[in-house]
Structure 1
Amino acid sequence: MTSTSGARSHTSPWELYDGLTALVPRGVTVTTCVVSRWALVETDAGGAGLSSVPDDGRDDPHGPQDVVGQDLADVAALVRSWDRRLAAIGLASINAWCNTQERLEAHAGDVIDWDASAFERSGELVQGRRVAVVGRFRHLDQLASRCDLTVLERRPQGRDLPDAAAEFVLPEVDHAFITSMTLANKTLPRLLELSGGARTTLVGPSTPLAPEAFAGRVDEISGSLVYDAPWCRRALMQGQGMASMRGALTLFNLRVPA
Structure 2
Amino acid sequence: MTTHASESIGGRRLHDCLLSGMSGNAEQVIVGLNWTLVAARGGAGMAQTPARGTAGCRSLPRPGSYSGQPLAALAALWQSENVFEHAIAVAAINARWNRFDLEGSPRNGLELIENRGERTVVIGRFPGVAERHPGIAVVEREPRPGEYPESAIETLLPKAEFVAVTASTIINGSLPRILTLCKDAFVLMIGPSTPLSPALFDLGIAALSGFVAADIGRLARAVSEGGAVAALRPFGRYVTIQRESRH
TM-score by length of 2: 0.85
Match for residue 15 of structure 1? 13
Instruction: Verify the 8 A CA contact 1:179 1:204 in the aligned structure 2.
Output: yes
Counterparts of 2:146 and 2:240 in 1: how far apart (Å)? 28
- Give the superposition deviation at 1:252: 1.3
Counterparts of 2:226 and 2:110 in 1: how far apart (Å)? 27
- Give the superposition deviation at 1:11: 5.1
Match for residue 214 of structure 1? 201
The answer on 1:34 being equivalent to 2:30 is yes
Aligned residues: CA RMSD: 2.3
Query: Match for 2:191: what amino acid?
Result: G
Query: Match for 2:29: what amino acid?
Result: C
Match for residue 69 of structure 1? 68
Instruction: Verify the 8 A CA contact 2:44 2:100 in the aligned structure 1.
Output: no
Query: Match for 2:60: what amino acid?
Result: G
- Give the superposition deviation at 1:192: 0.7
Q: 1:11 to 1:42 in 2, by over 3 A?
A: closer
SS in 1 for 2:142: coil
Instruction: Verify the 8 A CA contact 2:37 2:44 in the aligned structure 1.
Output: yes
Counterparts of 1:197 and 1:57 in 2: how far apart (Å)? 36
Q: 1:139 to 1:64 in 2, by over 3 A?
A: farther
Sequence identity percentage:
31
Q: Which residue among 22, 25, 28 is the counterpart of 1:24? A: 22
- Give the superposition deviation at 1:57: 7.5
Alignment of 1:42-121 (within 5 A): 42-43=39-40, 45-55=41-51, 62-63=59-60, 65=62, 66-102=65-101, 104-105=102-103, 111=104, 113-114=105-106, 116-121=107-112
Counterparts of 1:57 and 1:211 in 2: how far apart (Å)? 34
Deviations 1:148-200 (A, max 9, x none): 30111111122111112111111111100011111111110111111112110
Aligned residues: 233
Counterparts of 1:249 and 1:231 in 2: how far apart (Å)? 10
- Give the superposition deviation at 1:222: 0.9
Counterparts of 1:156 and 1:190 in 2: how far apart (Å)? 19
Q: 1:196 to 1:55 in 2, by over 3 A?
A: farther
Q: 1:221 to 1:57 in 2, by over 3 A?
A: farther
Which 5+ residue runs of structure 2 have no aligned equivalent?
1-7
Counterparts of 2:118 and 2:140 in 1: how far apart (Å)? 20
The answer on 1:139 being equivalent to 2:128 is yes
Counterparts of 1:61 and 1:129 in 2: how far apart (Å)? 40
- Give the superposition deviation at 1:215: 1.9
Counterparts of 1:139 and 1:23 in 2: how far apart (Å)? 37
- Give the superposition deviation at 1:63: 2.0
Instruction: Verify the 8 A CA contact 2:122 2:165 in the aligned structure 1.
Output: yes
Match for residue 204 of structure 1? 191
Counterparts of 1:72 and 1:18 in 2: how far apart (Å)? 14
Counterparts of 1:185 and 1:56 in 2: how far apart (Å)? 13
Query: Match for 1:120: what amino acid?
Result: E
- Give the superposition deviation at 1:56: 6.8
Q: 1:250 to 1:84 in 2, by over 3 A?
A: same
- Give the superposition deviation at 1:236: 1.9
